[in-house]
Structures are given as C-alpha cells and as structure tokens.
Chains A and B, each alone.
Chain A
Amino acid sequence: ETGVTQTPRHLVMGMTNKKSLKCEQHLGHNAMYWYKQSAKKPLELMFVYNFKEQTENNSVPSRFSPECPNSSHLFLHLHTLQPEDSALYLCASSQVGGAVTEAFFGQGTRLTVV
C-alpha cells in the first residue's frame, strides 16, 4: 500500500462510452500526475497538477479530460476513446517545493477499449 489508491483496477469500455478513473492520495502531497503505460513504450506523462492547478498537458487528446477538485483527488474523464488508448493508467503524487522527494504510484487502472 503506497498511500495512493486508484479505482477501478480494471475497466472495459466501448468507444462510445463515458467513464472516469479516480485517484486518491492520503500522503498530504501537493502534486498529482497521470501517466499512461502502453506495452513496450516508456511511461508517458499525461498531466501534472500542482496545488490543484494544471501545470502540464503533454499534448494529450481532448478525449482525455482531467479534473483535480482538491489536492487529494484526481480524476481522468474518458469519452469516445479509441482501441489504441487501451493501456495501464497510473496515478502518482509527490511533494514539490523544498526537499526533493520521490513519486508514489497507485496500482493503476488497466483500461481496455473495445
């Protein structure tokens, strides 16, 4: 248990569905991240939220829409996805500013788009 919880663990959705991934951190961190991990590719940083403000969007298609209502919760809203969006989606949190610390990851959501 890393203190970062992602739900659901597995999700199968059709291309016309709308679903959301949830991430919650209990570590008091002020930054949260979404990563995408596809087979045989590096982890791709998708979004960064620092103090609830989005500070990075790595050219992610608009069918992925993040939401950070507070520093403990992060959502990734999904709509009209493509089969190539099937991947492991990882959420992470860290404390930024001051001493450098590591990122703590959730267990991920395995997403399959059919």
Chain B
Amino acid sequence: SQQGEEDPQALSIQEGENATMNCSYKTSINNLQWYRQNSGRGLVHLILIRSNEREKHSGRLRVTLDTSKKSSSLLITASRAADTASYFCATGAGGYQKVTFGIGTKLQVIP
C-alpha cells in the first residue's frame, strides 16, 4: 500500500528559483529518503534523514522531517535545467528496511 504521498504532483519553475516538494506519510518510520528519477530510468538516491533528525543538507538540497506531522519537505535551491526529473519520497521501516514509495513530484525547470 502507498505510504508516502508527494505534493505537488507537478511543479514548473524557472532556472535559478527554488523548488519545494512535500511528502506526507501514514505510519511510524525509521527513516525517510528522497530519490530522483530521470524519465524512464532507475531511481537515484539523494538524501536520507533518520527519524531522530529534523533537518539535513547535501549541496543544494535541504530536507526537513517533522515526525509529529508525519511530513517531510525537500528544497532544491538555485535550480538548474538538469534538476528536471521526478522526485520521490520513500519511508524505511522494519528490520529489513522495507522502503515504500509515493507517486512522486514531477519537476520541470525551464532554462
């Protein structure tokens, strides 16, 4: 069953602007991960935040996690055309790291 739900489902911005995507989930988690997928390709892991962390940075990416609201956000600063892709959040839980994905946010960065 679907665990993470990304919002919005589609986002179109100009190059240089910031892009914010949100993710909500339903059950307790060990961690939350964000992935990027270019059209028809495999997913690439971007960043992982543990349930006891509130914020994490990696280059132009900033992720926040609010376990009380069961939500996370991914901020991409100073977007580039190459950031055009679908972005998925995934929640990790269980002893064998079952990872469940949402439907994704399709980001288009216009040059």
Residues of A participating in the B interface, judged by any CB pair closer than 8 Å: 2, 4, 6, 31, 33, 35, 40-43, 45, 48, 50, 55-56, 88, 90, 92, 94, 96-97, 100-108, 110
A-B contact pairs, 13 of them (CB 8 A): A31-B97, A41-B103, A42-B2, A43-B88, A43-B101, A88-B40, A94-B99, A96-B96, A97-B95, A105-B43, A108-B41, A108-B42, A110-B40
Partner of A96 from the list B40, B41, B88, B95 (CB cut-off 8 Å) is: B95
In the complex, B67 has a CB within 8 A of chain A: no
In chain B, what residue has the closest Cβ to A45?
B100
In the assembled complex, the Cα of A102 lies from the Cα of B46 at a distance in Å of 9
- Chain A residue contacts of B96, Cβ below 8 A: 31, 48, 50, 55-56, 96
Q: A45-B99, A97-B95, A100-B97 are in contact. List 9 more A-B contacts (CB 8 A).
A: A35-B101, A56-B96, A96-B95, A96-B97, A100-B92, A101-B97, A103-B43, A103-B45, A107-B42
In the assembled complex, the Cα of A106 lies from the Cα of B41 at a distance in Å of 8
Q: Given A31-B96, A31-B97, A42-B102, are A100 and B42 also a contact pair (CB < 8 Å)? A: no
B42/A102 in contact, CB under 8 A: no
Residues of B participating in the A interface, judged by any CB pair closer than 8 Å: 2, 30-31, 33, 35, 40-45, 48, 50, 88, 90, 92, 95-104
Main secondary structure of the interface of B (DSSP, over half): strand
Scoring A2, A42, A103, A105 by chain B CB atoms within 10 A of each residue's CB, the highest score goes to A42
Main secondary structure of the interface of A (DSSP, over half): strand
B103/A105 in contact, CB under 8 A: no
Partner of B33 from the list A88, A97, A102 (CB cut-off 8 Å) is: A102
Can you list the 6 inter-chain pairs with the closest CB atoms, starting with the nearest?
Answer: A105-B42, A43-B101, A102-B45, A105-B43, A107-B42, A50-B96
Partner of B98 from the list A56, A88, A97, A101 (CB cut-off 8 Å) is: A56
